[in-house]
Structure 1
Amino acid sequence: MEQVRPISESDARNYNPLSLAFIGDSVYENHVRERLLLGYPNMLPKDLHVKAVGYVKASSQSRIISGIEDSLSEDEIYIYKRGRNTKSHTIPKNADLLDYKRASGFEALIGYLYLIGRDARLEEIIDLSFKIIEEGENHDEERQ
């Protein structure tokens, strides 16, 4: 079987940003599911799914990108903004349009890092995303 990745940065930069988001969505969701399963080995799948949604929904990804934007390289910001600013042919059902666009940018960045083989940076961003979401959950619990 032919090796698919890593591809060159210049090739990845030429991909349609929504195609980067397409693969980024899958990569991010898989990482979330894996971490949740390893962290909660006895949790029922339906409960794992509910917990995973808290990480992968557009509003959460929008919050993540807000939390990490200052730590992105110029190249990463370029990819994020391309994904964010690309006109989508779908309209979000359960998301604010701005959150949806920012989430698309986040997913494009994840897809880009995955395709170019920057696995350490990808893991770093996913680690940060978990911290941001968990801090938000803890903050929400404190207010209740």
Structure 2
Amino acid sequence: MRPKEELLPIPTSLPPEQVEELSPLVLAYVGDAVYELLVRSYLVQGRATRVDVLHREAVEFVAAVNQARLVPRLEGRLTSEEKEVLRRGRNARPGHLPRHATPLEYRYSTALETLFGYLYLKGDWPRLRQVFAAVCELVEGGQGP
């Protein structure tokens, strides 16, 4: 099941120079919300199911350990600019330790969220859709959650 083109959060963009100045953790903060909304929208499209089932599937999809598994498989589909954003996110030092993932898995999941926040705030919604579609392909192909 491919994500529909119109599945995108409320459009918001900042001037490119302002996006570049944001810390990777701020980008990840926004990216976490964007990714969660895209996942939830993706899970409900074309389905009528119970909310508890949707919630379980969404939690599995957005879990740090599962996001971390996607990053190495996704990197080959990214531009050099996007790979640099991933690197910045991976190298960011959050102020807390993860509960349900190793520190390395948490760093990779932060990298993915940083990329989603970056693309969203930059206003590059077509590319955000492409990257999310690639994530969905990996998941459906058994290479993700």
TMscore range, shorter length = 0.7 to 0.9
Match of 1:29 among 21, 32, 36: 36
TM-score normalized by the length of structure 2: 0.86
Q: Contact 1:13 / 1:79 at 8 angstroms: preserved in 2?
A: no
Q: Please report the TM-score for the alignment, with normalisation by the length of structure 1.
A: 0.87
Matched, 1:94 2:100: yes
- Structure 2, unaligned runs of 5 or more: 1-10
More helix by share: 1
Cα RMSD of the aligned pairs, angstroms, is 1.8
Q: Could you say what secondary structure the match of 1:12 adopts?
A: helix
Structure 2 residue corresponding to 1:73, chosen from 67, 70, 79: 79
Q: How many residue pairs are counted as aligned between the two chains?
A: 135
Would you say 1:56 and 2:72 are equivalent positions?
Answer: no
* Offset at residue 39 of structure 1 (A): 3.1
Question: In 2, are the aligned partners of 1:33 and 1:52 still within 8 Å (CA)?
Answer: yes
Q: Which amino acid aligns with 1:29?
A: E
> Highest CA radius of gyration, 1 or 2?
1
CA distance in 1, matches of 2:103, 2:142: 21
Structure 1: give runs of 5+ residues left out of the alignment: none
Q: Which of 26, 38, 54 is the aligned partner of 2:45?
A: 38
Q: Measure the CA separation in 2 of the matches of 1:112 and 1:90.
A: 22
Q: Which runs of 4+ in 1 moved over 4 A?
A: none
